[in-house]
Structure 1
Amino acid sequence: MESQVIEVAYALDTFYFLVSGALVMWMAAGFSMLEAGLVRSKSTVEILTKNIALYSLACIMYMFIGYNIMYGDGLNSVIPGLSFFIGGDNTVEEVLASDGEIYYSGMSDFFFQVVFVATAMSIVSGAVAERMKLWAFLAFAVFMTGVIYPFQGYWSWGEGWLDELGYLDYAGSGIVHMTGAVAALAGVILLGARKGKYGPNGEVNAIPGANLPLATLGTFILWMGWFGFNGGSELKVSDIESANAVAQVFTNTNLAAAGGVLTAMIVTRLVYGKTDLTMGLNGALAGLVSITAEPLMPSPLLAVIIGAIGGAIVVFSIIGLDKLRIDDPVGAISVHGTAGIWGVFAVLLSNPDATFMNQLIGIVAIFAFVFIASLIVWAILKALMGIRISEEEEYEGVDQSECGLEAYPEFTVK
C-alpha cells in the first residue's frame, strides 16, 4: 500500500511539474503578442520571428549545455562544472522534492527549467526591438541561454554560493527577470535608440504600438502563464501542506497583478491626466514580477501591496529611462529589471529568513555578472557582424530588411 501511495505521489507531482511547465511555455505566446502589439506594424514579423526562434534556441542550448552548468556538479560554489547533453549519466531519473521523501521525474525538472530560461531571453527581445539585426540577436541568444543565465542560476538554484549565503528568490524575480532585463540593458546601451525617439533638446517622442488589442491579449496570456511560473516553483502538490501552499501562491500571484494594474493606472492618471493602457499592462506584469521572489509567505493583502508598489515603480522607471535616453519599446527593462529588484527586496516583508544584506548581495552579484558578460558578448557581436540595421532599413522596417514580409500588407504605408 505504501509503495502505491508513493507511486501515485510521484505521478501526481511529475504531472503537476509538466503542466506548470506547459503554462510557462505558453508565456512565450504572451511575450510574442505583447511585443507585437507594442511595436510598429513594420516591425511585427521580425519580432514574432525572434520569439519563436529564441524559444527554440533556448530549448536546444539548455539541453546541450545550460542545464548541466546550472544543476551539475560545480568546481566550487562560484564556478559551475562543464558537461554536455542531458540524459544518460547526466540526468537523475528520480529527483528528490523539497522534503526529501517524494520523487518526481528528472525530465520533468528539465522541462520546467528550460521554459524559465526561454522567459529570460524573451525579455531581451522587446527591449532591442525595431533596430537590431535578427541574426545578431539570435547569436546572443545562444550565449545567453547556454552560458550566461545558467552560470548565475548555479549560484542560487544550483546550490552555489548565493544559496549558501542565504539569498532567497522563490521563483526568480532576480534570477530570471532581472537577469533578462540586465542583459537587455547592456544590448540597448550599445545599440542606441530608435531614430526619432529622442529630440535634440531632450524631447521624448512617443512611438505608439500598432496593435493594443494584441498587446492586451499578450498580457492576459502572461498573467495566466505566471500561475505555472510561480505555482510550479512549489515543486510538488501531492500532500496537504504542498497543495495549500500552491493555492496560496496562485492567490497571491493573481492579487499582485491586480494591484499592479490599478496602481499604474492611477499613477498615470495623476501624472498625465490620462489613463494609459500600456502603463496598465506593464503594471500587471510589474506586479507579477514583484511577487515572484516570494509568492508563498505574504498574506493576500500584502500581496496586493507588493504588486501595487511594483505597478507604481514601473511607471516612474519607464519615465526615468526615457529621460536617460535608454529606448525600450515595450518597457521590458523597467518591468523585469526595476520591478525585479523591488521583488527581491519585498521578500523581507514576509520571510523571516531573509536579510537585507543577503538580498542586496544577490542583486549586485547577479546584476554585475550578467551585465558584464552580456556587454562583452554584445560588443564582440557588434565588432564581428554588427548589431544594428542601417538607417534606411530602419525607416523601411525590420520586417522587410530582415524577413522580407509584412504583417499587415493591406494597411502598410511606405
Structure 2
Amino acid sequence: MELLTINNVWMMICTALVFFMHLGFAFLEIGLTRQKNTINILFKNMFIITIGLLLYCLVGFNLMYPGFESGDLGIFGFAGFGLDSPLTDAGTLDLAYNEGYTYWTDFLFQGMFAATAATIVSGAVAERMKIGPFMIFTIIYVGLIYPIAGSWKWGGGFLQTLETPFYDFAGSTLVHSVGGWAAVVAVCLLGPRIGKFKDGKPQAIPGHNIPLATAGVIILWLGWFGFNGGSVLSADPALTSLTLVTTCLAAASGGVVAALVSTLRYKNLDLTMFLNGILGGLVGITAGADQMSPTDAIIIGAVAGTIIVLAISLVDKLKLDDPVGAIAVHLVCGIWGTLAIGIFGNLAGGAQFVSQLIGIVSYAAICIVSSFLIIFIMKKTVGIRVSEREELEGLDAHEHGMDAYPDFRLNEH
C-alpha cells in the first residue's frame, strides 16, 4: 500500500504538471500572434481544456482503453459510456487496478493528454478561423478521433500486437503528430492570413508579446517533466530519473542547435527559432525518453533543432501560414522522434524501424482523412474563415466584443 501511495502521488503531481502545460500553450500562442486576437486564442484554449475533459469522461477514456480481446482487429472498441469504479471480486474498490496508481488517477492523467491535440491545431489556425467551426472540430477530434487512434497503441490495439510492436513512450506520434496532421489539413483548407504572402514571398507578421511566448516555452518545458515523467506510470526512481534527464538534454540541445542553424542561415539571433528549437527537442525525445542514453538524447534534440529551422522554411515555401510553427514542431519533429526509436537507444534495429514507419503511416491516414472530412464539410456548409473585415480589425472585437488590453490598445490593421 505504501508503494501504491508513492506511485499514485507521483502520477497526480505529473497530472498537475501536464495541466499546467495548457497555460504554456496559451502564453506561447498569444505571444506569437497579434494583440487583436488574444481573447479569441484564450477562449479557444479554455474551451479545449474543459470540453476535452468532459468528452474524455463520457466517451474518450473507454474508446481509448476498450479492453481489446484476443482475435479482435484492434482498430475500434468501446467499453461503454462514462466512468465506473473498478471493483474487486469481493465488491470493494480496486485501488491498485493498474499495479501502480488508481483508476481515477489514470483517467485524469490520460485526460490531460487528450486536449493537447486540439491545442496544437489552435495555434496553426490562429487569427483567421471562425470560433464556432473550431469548437465543432475540437469536439469531434478530441472526443472521437484522438481516443480511437490512441487505442491502436496505448489501448492494446493492432500496433501494439505487431510482431515488433510500434513504440511511442509518451506521444511523439500519438499526441503531437495527431495534432500536427490535423494542423496541416486545417491550414491548407483555411489559406494564409491577409498580408502573409506578397508576390509569393512570405512576410513576417510579428507576435505582439515575445516575453510572454518565452514564458510559455519555459512553462511547457517544466510541464514536460510530467508529460514524460508521468508516462513511466510509476515513481520508479531509476527510470523516472533517466526520463527527466533525457527530456531536458534533448530540449537544451534542440534550442542551441536551432539558434545556431538559424543564425548561420539568416544571419540574426532569432529568439523564436530558439524557442521552437527547445520545443522541437522536447517533442523529438518524447517517443523514446525512457529508452535513450544522455548522448542519444542530445543527438535527437540536435537533429530536431536543425529540422525546426528547415521545416519552418519549407512551410513558408509551400505557402502555408502557421503563425506559431506548430507543424514544424509537433508534426515534423514528432515524426523524427518516432523514427529515432529504431535508430537510437535500447530498441534500435531494422524491425523496430519498420514498425515505427507503420505507426506513422497509420496515424497519418486516420488524422488526414478525418480532419479533412470534418473541416471540408464545415467549409462547404457554415464556412470556416472569418470575413476580411473581421480579420483586419481582429477576432476579439468581432467574435467576443472584448479587448485583451483595453487601456493601451494598439491600432492594428
Cα distance in 2 for residues equivalent to 1:119 and 1:58: 9
TM-score with structure 2 setting the length: 0.94
Identity of aligned residues (%): 44
CA distance in 1, matches of 2:54, 2:259: 40
Tell me by how many angstroms 1:338 deviates.
0.1
Worse-matched range after superposition: 295-304 or 29-38: 295-304
What does residue range 373-412 of structure 1 map to in structure 2 within 5 Å? 373-409=370-406, 410-412=408-410
Contact 1:155/1:163 (<8 A) preserved = yes
- Alignment of 1:185 with 2:162, yes or no, is no
- Distance, in Å, in 2 between the alignment partners of 1:293 and 1:104 is 22
Q: CA RMSD, aligned part only? A: 1.6
Query: How many residues end up aligned between the 2 structures?
Result: 399
Partner of 2:230: 232
Of 348-357 and 289-298, the range deviating more from structure 2: 348-357
Question: Against the structure 1 CA distance between its residues 45 and 90, is the aligned structure 2 distance closer, same or farther, given a 3 Å change threshold?
Answer: farther
Q: Verify the 8 A CA contact 1:68 1:90 in the aligned structure 2.
A: no
Gaps of at least 5 residues in structure 1 are: 1-6
The one of 137, 142, 145 aligned to 1:140: 137
From 64, 80, 87, the equivalent of 1:83 is 80
Q: Residue 152 of structure 1 is aligned with which of 138, 149, 152?
A: 149
Q: Match of 2:130, as an amino acid? A: K
User: 1:83 offset after TM fit, Å?
Assistant: 2.0
Kindly provide the amino acid, as one letter, of the partner of residue 117 in structure 1: A
What is residue 371 of structure 1 aligned with on the other side?
368
Which structure has more helix as a fraction of its residues? 1
Matched-pair contact (CA < 8 Å) for 1:192–1:327: yes
1:279-333 Cα deviation digits (max 9, x unpaired): 1000000000000000122111221111111011011001101100111000001
Q: CA contact under 8 A between 1:94 and 1:103: conserved in structure 2?
A: no
| Corresponding residue for residue 250 of structure 2 | 256
Match of 2:12 among 18, 29, 35: 18
2:58 aligns with one of 64, 89, 97: 64
Cα 1:93–1:43 shift into 2, 3 Å? farther
Residues 24-67 of structure 1, C-alpha deviations (whole Å, 9 max, x = no match): 00000000000010001111111011101111111011111011
Alpha-carbon distance in structure 1 between the residues aligned to 2:356 and 2:67: 25
What's the CA shift string for 1:62-117, capped at 9, x where partnerless?
Answer: 111011100013463112226211124699844554xxxx3420010000000001
Question: Aligned equivalents of 2:147 and 2:94: distance in 1?
Answer: 21
- Aligned equivalents of 2:197, 2:134: Cα separation in 1: 24
| Structure 2: tracts of 5 or more residues without a match | none
Cα distance in 2, alignment partners of residues 215 and 23 from structure 1? 18
Name the SS of the counterpart of 1:151 in structure 2.
helix
- In 2, the alpha carbon distance for the partners of 1:128 and 1:152 equals 22
CA distance in 1, matches of 2:347, 2:322: 36
TM-score, normalisation: structure 1: 0.94
1:259-274 equivalent positions in 2, closer than 5 A? 259-274=253-268
